[in-house]
Amino acid sequence: EVQLVESGGGAVWPGGSLRLSCAASGFTFGDFTMHWVRQVPGKGLEWVSLISWDSGNTDYADSVKGRFTISRDNRKNTLYLQMDRLRTGDTALYYCTKDIDGWYGFDYWGQGTLVTVSS
């Protein structure tokens, strides 16, 4: 059974930093592109970032580029999102998602970790 378990969320001041983690199990983690998707409570979904299976390709939404860094450790089956210079607009539930190999989309999602940026 595929499982994605996010952690690391919490409350932080504007300008602060947080590092999210996503522990993956139930599939060969190192074979797949992984993504972060976020959702402001009560609002829609926003794609945030992706990282290819070998970390050779990363990409970011314009709203987070230059502030967030995605990475992975295939030995530990773990995905990360380093979030720096956080803004109040980054407040959201952050989901770790697995890429549908060969297609555009996400076939497995974690339950999310909540990030609150507030003064």
Partner 1 sequence: SSELIQDPAVSVALGQTVRITCQGDSLRSYYASWYQQKPGQAPLLVIYGKNTRPSGIPDRFSGSYSGNTASLTITGAQAEDEADYYCNSRDSSGRHYVFGTGTKVTVL
Site residues for partner 1 per CB under 8 A: 35, 37, 44-47, 50, 59, 61-62, 95, 100, 103-112
User: Which CA distances in Å does 54 have to 15, 51, 57?
Assistant: 30, 8, 8
The nearest distance, CB 46 to partner 1, in angstroms, is: 7
Q: How far is the CB of 64 from partner 1 (least distance, A)?
A: 11
Nearer to partner 1 by Cβ, of 20 and 37: the residue is: 37
Name which of 15, 10, 19 is nearest 89 in CA terms: 15
Residue 28 Cβ, how far from partner 1 at the closest point, in Å? 18
Please say which residue, 41 or 119, places its beta carbon nearer to partner 1: 41
Say whether 30 sits in a helix, a strand or coil: helix
What gap in Å lies between CA 40 and CA 30, rounded to an integer?
Answer: 29
Q: How far is the CB of 82 from partner 1 (least distance, A)?
A: 19
Contact 97, 34 (CB under 8 A): yes
Q: In sequence order, what are the beta bridge partners of 72?
A: 79
17 or 55: CB nearest partner 1? 55
Q: 42 or 75: whose CB is closer to partner 1?
A: 42
